[in-house]
Structure formats: C-alpha cells, structure tokens
Structure 1
Amino acid sequence: MRAALRKKIIEVCEQKIEKKGQDVGLSFYAFFKNKNDQPEVLMEAARWWIETHQLDHFEKARKIKAMVESGD
C-alpha cells in the first residue's frame, strides 16, 4: 500500500478514535470524500481491506490503525 494512503488511514483512525472512543468502527470508505476523485487509491484500499485481509464491512478503527502501523 502506498505511503500516502497508509498515512491517511492512520490519521482518520486517530481522529475517529479521539472523537468517538476506542470502540468506534469504520469502513474503508471513511478514508475518502463522498466524491470519488481517486478511484485508483480507493480500489487499492478496497483490495487491502476485502481481498488481502477479508475484513468485515465495518471494523474497529483501533484494529485498522494497528494493522497499518505494523505494515500488514
């Protein structure tokens, strides 16, 4: 996964956790604007989320952050 996407995922997870607590869930869509102006990056996140890790639609932000930070 590209470094910019990793950075964005970590930032969004941190923001969500700060605002809503440790048990907040999110989907890979949380890392993008409603307007699909980055389809290649969106698909990269989707592949990582769905194909590579077979994650549920919603996962705990703290879990996703830990996975990305560990290089998973």
Structure 2
Amino acid sequence: MRSALRDKIIKVCQKKIEQKGENVGVSFYAFFANKNDEPELLMEAATWWIQTHQLDHFEKAQKIMEMIKAE
C-alpha cells in the first residue's frame, strides 16, 4: 500500500476516534469523498480491506489504524 493512502487512513481513523470514541467503526469508503475522484486509491484500499485481510464491511477504526501501522 502506498504511503499516501496509509497516511490518509491513519488520519481519518484518528479523527473518527476523537469525534466518536474508541469503539467507532469505519468502512474503507470512509477514506474517500462521495465521488469517484481517486479510483486507483479506492481500489487499492478495497483490495487491502476485502481481498488481503477479508475484513467485514465495518471494522473498529482502532483496529484498522493498528493494522496499517504494523505493516
């Protein structure tokens, strides 16, 4: 996963946790606007989320952030 996407995921997860608490859930769509302006990054995130790690649609933001940092 490219570093720009990793940084974006961590930033979004941190923001969600600050706003809604430790138990907040996110999907990979949370890292993108509601328009398809970055299709390659969206597919990269979807591949990492669905194919590589076989995650549920919603996962805890804390878990995702820890997974990204561990890679």
Calculate the TM-score normalised by the size of structure 2: 0.99
Gaps of 5+ in 1: none
Give the equivalent residue in structure 1 for 2:32: 32
Give the equivalent residue in structure 2 for 1:65: 65
Q: How many aligned residue pairs are there?
A: 71
Q: Secondary structure at the match of 2:11?
A: helix
Whole-Å Cα distance in 1 between the matches of residues 12 and 34 of structure 2? 15
Deviating above 4 A after TM superposition, structure 1's stretches of 4 or more consecutive aligned residues are none
Structure 1 segment 11-26 matched on structure 2, within 5 A:
11-26=11-26
1:47 aligns with 2:43: no
Q: How many percent of aligned residue pairs carry the same amino acid?
A: 70
**How well do the aligned residues superpose, as a CA RMSD in angstroms?**
0.3
Q: Secondary structure at the match of 2:45?
A: helix
Q: Secondary structure at the match of 1:37?
A: coil
